[in-house]
Structure 1
Amino acid sequence: MDGAVFDYIIVGAGSAGCALAERLTRDERNRVLLIEAGGSDKRFWIKVPIGYGVTFANPHVNWGYHAEPDPALNGRSIYWPRGKVIGGSSSINAMAYVRGLPVDFDGWEAHGAQGWSWKDVRPAFEKMERHLERDATGALRERGDGPLTVSDLQDQMSPFSGRFLAAARECGWAYCDDLSSTTHEGVGFYRSTVRNGMRCSAADAFLTPARRRANLQVVSLATVHRITFEGRRATGVVYACRGQTIVVRAERDVILSAGAVNSPKLLQLSGVGPATLLRGLGIGVHSDLGQVGQGLQDHLAISHLYRATEPTLNNILGRVAPKLLAGLRYASTRRGPLGVPVNQVGGFVRSASDVAAPDLQIYCNPLSYWMTHAGKLVLDRDPGFMLSAQLCRPESRGSIAIASADPDKAPAIHPNSLATEHDRIGARRSLEIINRLAGAPSLSGVLNQRLAPDPSVIGMEAMMEDFRARASTVFHPTSTCRMGHGPADSVLDARLRVHGIDGLRVVDSSAFPSVTSGNTNAPTMMLATRAGEIILEDAAARSNQKELAYAP
């Protein structure tokens, strides 16, 4: 393998890398190498939808990062799980499929990402989706013929979830039949990347069919150390695999799809980034690109936990005998509580009538649980539920910066939470929405007690203190190699090319100019799907130019 030559080298077999590899390998003339730091995704708890709680802190499939102490969150160092496995974070996430809102993508274009407005990206979403949904009679129907299965699982969800929908109606929020592609305010059942009762990750949807093609080579358990250059052109990568150091070349493009944490890390390790940072760590500066690692955005959510007077999923998953019965049912039918993700009901709402677009996302889970500092999920045995809310479009921006020239060392993650007044107001509005929902008759009537925050926490100021003590990421980091107008405000142009360097692109959530309003897995796969088209268009244009240059 050392010295091998490919047309395209993709670093990272996650949500973006899998989708990109599938698109590029459709043309058998393209030789593609896909490099992944993690191992196989053929694991029981990855495939079983409820297994999210098991893989959440499993170091065999997870980078298990922790952010730096966050001043606005009482100096807490919060757990940041990221997928380190074939399929990346799509193999360990909660499987909620949400495109985002039109305002998100129109905002991208306003930030310099020409060609990424809502009218541009909507067809890409539709092209990659295959919806399995219920009609008015409850019959299953199929919509779309894309590789990614998005399932309506409401017929298997906890009966308690009906309480959330009733409470939402009492709050004045309309019912949304399809949260996966909503463009407006509404609350409904989340749709999930689940197929035949099993997780449908980016690996399942895109990489599995691509691996049948002879022009794709996948290397796993391989850590890329740096990008190689000749002048201003990226020529390949150096990676370590099973005790060997291997150099491979790319004749067309090196493409980083390692995610919002590891893509900027790899650029910085390769001498592309803020010159002061790189020189301070003894790294030669290939390109002084100050925005690499800057602009980090994420969703910060607060969750309130309650005990219920009616059965919830805790009555099944929190107790041995019912859990075993659910396991037997799942083994024989691929249905039931183990076949449905924990995020069941939610949506986008406006915090006030004068807000133009929904500014808060809510999650309503018929299960009460909490997370330890190490990322272990602990279930309550007694019936309970959770209400969570987050600001859709935060303005605060943090950073990712390598702390060492050693590629095996984790980078420093600085979330910089609640850095703007807009975000601090958003935190208060999140609390107000949760209180409003919990106070609706359909929930207040079955609410036994509040577990978190403690019932003694009363009033907005005390609630904000609790927010700073408990609020956490919902694992949607973006924008650390964002598209924009130029090097002064971004890392990439609108065709995902690193400013000033030929043959080098970044294709993953780090390329988002700003975080989308909801869960980021769907827009990440969409971005990679469109990126494949863009990369092939550019390759065809270069080929035509060469033909013209040699024409008599």
Structure 2
Amino acid sequence: MDNFDYIIIGAGSAGCVLANRLTENPNNKVLLIEAGGNDSYPWIHIPVGYYKTMHNPKTDWCYKTEPDETMENRSIPYPRGKTLGGSSSINGLLYIRGQEQDYDIWRQLGNKGWSWNDVLPYFLKAENQERGQSQFHGVGGPLSVSDQRIKLPILDAFMNAAQEIGIPKVNDFNKGNNFGCGYFQVTEQNGLRCSTAVGYLNPIKNRKNLKIETKCHVEKVNFENKKAVSVSYWKNNQSFTTKANKEIILSAGSIGSAQILQTSGIGNGEKLSKLGIDVIKDSIGVGKNLQDHLMFRPVYKVKNIKTLNKKINSLIGKLMIGMEYVFLRSGPMTMGASQLCGFAKSDSSKETPNLQFHVQPISTDKLGGSNLHDFAAFTPTVANIRPTSKGEINIISKDSRENPKIKMNYLSSDEDRIVAAKGLRLIRKIVLESNEFKQYEPEEFRPGANIQDDEELVKAASNYAQTIFHPVGTCKMGQDDMAVVDDQLKVHGIKNLRVIDASIMPNITSGNTNAPTIMIAEKGADMILSS
């Protein structure tokens, strides 16, 4: 098959959804292009395997950010999935939709059809909820959403302590208002990862109207009179160009989609010209508006209660963990990136929660590192989920095989530094001042309870701060000068080209971004099929 109606660039969280939905009609011929390989690497499918898939060139682009003067001039690793399933194959498996207000604000910005009531049906359509069908949950969809198969006393203690200061216990964060503390649900089925490759692509990969090309690096989209007509890419060091009869869809993520638009001639015209790229459309917003969640990682030592540090550090403990997984499909090997979730307000002036906790029953100096501390400790991370700092993606060459510059500017706004300090202080209040934790004699190992000045606190904590891997917004949806796509996800001023992935978010959602990305793809597929 070499005659295609649609070409999808990127077989990740969005691309696999689109491939499934567009090929439901046997008359639609679809080419799905992925830079990575297939998803046969075993650690992809074992939930805790994200420790093995991130920073691994088999499955990760292994990006690094530019040195960030707002974070002690640190450059940090920036994982993005490079395999079928994309980042849904290497992420922390946490299922959070965000808040009702997130989507209502998108709608208020002029994006018709993107309010909470508009998008909720697509969350339901995607979902196969282990707990069954309800007003807010669907069954029978391709994406399995399950309760976690591990509970630990240290996590219950945090939940009780949070309740002491007015953060209630909840068991569902996905009804539109996520205030409270409880266990995350995860994208798993029977203790195995349910990526979009597993849920959406594998069941339909043999459809005769779908061709999947892996290990293909896209060079650029080609145009005739501002109409997207074909895609050029490399495979096995050979160059190919394939035409699309109807549409080309960019689903390469917030890094990749912005990069490919720029190498194709859509972006800041002055910058593109300097790189020798013919400007198809001067679109200054491409690569701008980059938003992410920065996670602060305080560590607290505890006594009289177990964390997983010692168990994971011992050979016998590892053996027991492995046996539990093999025979029961439960225990630490089924863990997502975090087990306990919390949403709270940095202060009472906020209408909805603007802080998120990811509580982990382990501690380490380096996120993703295998060297856990040799003492009992846990990590109650905190993130500002509506940051005002923004970064950007800029190519440095017309050759898309050279990684673009990723500039984050994480703590560049005064508001973000203020919220960071308040978040760290709220964690202190929960752990150090609650009656629940007194019996465990908590001690702030990092950044250190002796640090009381807000600026010093944020500065010390930023030495260990990391991305939660939620880049969005670089091809944002809207009507203003910085908008790249309209509310039908069509690139402004260009025919037959859409962007459908997390890069179209005008504002980052208040929580983890994988579920919203899958929703965007479900909705985008409907838009294509009805056009």
Match of 2:323 in 1: 328
8 Å Cα contact 1:296-1:400 kept in structure 2: yes
Q: Which moved more, 1:428-437 or 1:394-403?
A: 428-437
d(CA) in 1 for partners of 2:436, 2:176 = 25
Q: Which moved more, 1:185-194 or 1:344-353?
A: 344-353
Which among 416, 428, 452 is matched to residue 421 of structure 2? 428
Unaligned runs of 5+ in 2: none
d(CA) in 1 for partners of 2:20, 2:132 = 29
Match of 1:346 in 2: 341
**Structure 1 residues 410 and 377 mapped into 2: Cα distance closer, same or farther (>3 Å)?**
farther
Query: What is the deviation of 1:179?
Result: 2.1
Instruction: Report whether the alignment pairs 1:86 with 2:84.
Output: yes
d(CA) in 2 for partners of 1:134, 1:124 = 16
Match of 1:19 in 2: 17
Q: What amino acid is the match of 1:222?
A: C
The CA deviation string for residues 39-76 of structure 1, in whole angstroms up to 9 with x for no partner, is 12122211111111121221110011111111211211
Given the two structures, how large is their TM-score scaled by the length of structure 1? Answer: 0.92
Q: Write the mapping of 1:278-427 to structure 2, written as runs, cut at 5 A.
A: 278-309=272-303, 310-371=305-366, 376-427=369-420
d(CA) in 1 for partners of 2:477, 2:355 = 25
Which among 75, 98, 111 is matched to residue 96 of structure 2? 98
Query: What is the deviation of 1:392?
Result: 1.5
Q: Which moved more, 1:317-326 or 1:174-183?
A: 174-183
Q: What amino acid is the match of 1:62?
A: D
**Structure 1 residues 447 and 474 mapped into 2: Cα distance closer, same or farther (>3 Å)?**
farther
d(CA) in 1 for partners of 2:207, 2:403 = 34
Query: What is the deviation of 1:314?
Result: 1.6
Given the two structures, how large is their TM-score scaled by the length of structure 2? Answer: 0.96
Q: What amino acid is the match of 2:302?
A: A
Identity of aligned residues (%): 40
d(CA) in 2 for partners of 1:471, 1:328 = 34
Which among 232, 235, 241 is matched to residue 226 of structure 2? 232
Match of 1:544 in 2: none
Unaligned runs of 5+ in 1: 136-141, 539-552
Q: Helix, strand or coil for the counterpart of 1:346? A: strand
Q: What amino acid is the match of 1:104?
A: D
Q: Helix, strand or coil for the counterpart of 1:450? A: strand
**Structure 1 residues 180 and 443 mapped into 2: Cα distance closer, same or farther (>3 Å)?**
farther
Match of 1:112 in 2: 110
d(CA) in 2 for partners of 1:97, 1:337 = 18
The CA deviation string for residues 520-540 of structure 1, in whole angstroms up to 9 with x for no partner, is 0000000000000001111xx
The CA deviation string for residues 295-347 of structure 1, in whole angstroms up to 9 with x for no partner, is 11111121101222111122322222111121122112222221222411112
8 Å Cα contact 2:23-2:30 kept in structure 1: yes
Q: Which moved more, 1:438-447 or 1:349-358?
A: 438-447
Q: What amino acid is the match of 1:425?
A: I
Q: Helix, strand or coil for the counterpart of 2:122? A: helix
**Structure 1 residues 259 and 377 mapped into 2: Cα distance closer, same or farther (>3 Å)?**
farther
d(CA) in 2 for partners of 1:337, 1:414 = 35
Which among 456, 462, 467 is matched to residue 468 of structure 1? 462
8 Å Cα contact 2:12-2:84 kept in structure 1: yes
Query: What is the deviation of 1:196?
Result: 0.7
Match of 1:144 in 2: 139
d(CA) in 1 for partners of 2:371, 2:406 = 25
d(CA) in 2 for partners of 1:277, 1:444 = 58
Query: What is the deviation of 1:83?
Result: 0.5
Match of 1:272 in 2: 266
Q: Which moved more, 1:157-166 or 1:65-74?
A: 157-166
d(CA) in 2 for partners of 1:8, 1:444 = 60
The CA deviation string for residues 410-446 of structure 1, in whole angstroms up to 9 with x for no partner, is 1001112223232222112211221112222323431
8 Å Cα contact 1:19-1:528 kept in structure 2: yes
The CA deviation string for residues 362-416 of structure 1, in whole angstroms up to 9 with x for no partner, is 11111112327xx645322332100111112112221100011221111001112
Over the aligned positions, Cα root-mean-square deviation in angstroms equals 1.8
8 Å Cα contact 1:180-1:191 kept in structure 2: no
Match of 2:243 in 1: 249
Q: Which moved more, 1:349-358 or 1:28-37?
A: 349-358
Match of 1:535 in 2: 528
Q: What amino acid is the match of 1:406?
A: D
d(CA) in 2 for partners of 1:447, 1:521 = 37
8 Å Cα contact 1:6-1:33 kept in structure 2: yes
Q: Write the mapping of 1:443-522 to structure 2, written as runs, cut at 5 A.
A: 443-486=437-480, 488-522=481-515
**Structure 1 residues 418 and 200 mapped into 2: Cα distance closer, same or farther (>3 Å)?**
same
Query: What is the deviation of 1:447?
Result: 4.1
Q: Helix, strand or coil for the counterpart of 1:294? A: coil
**Structure 1 residues 444 and 267 mapped into 2: Cα distance closer, same or farther (>3 Å)?**
farther
**Structure 1 residues 382 and 160 mapped into 2: Cα distance closer, same or farther (>3 Å)?**
same
The total of aligned residue pairs comes to 526
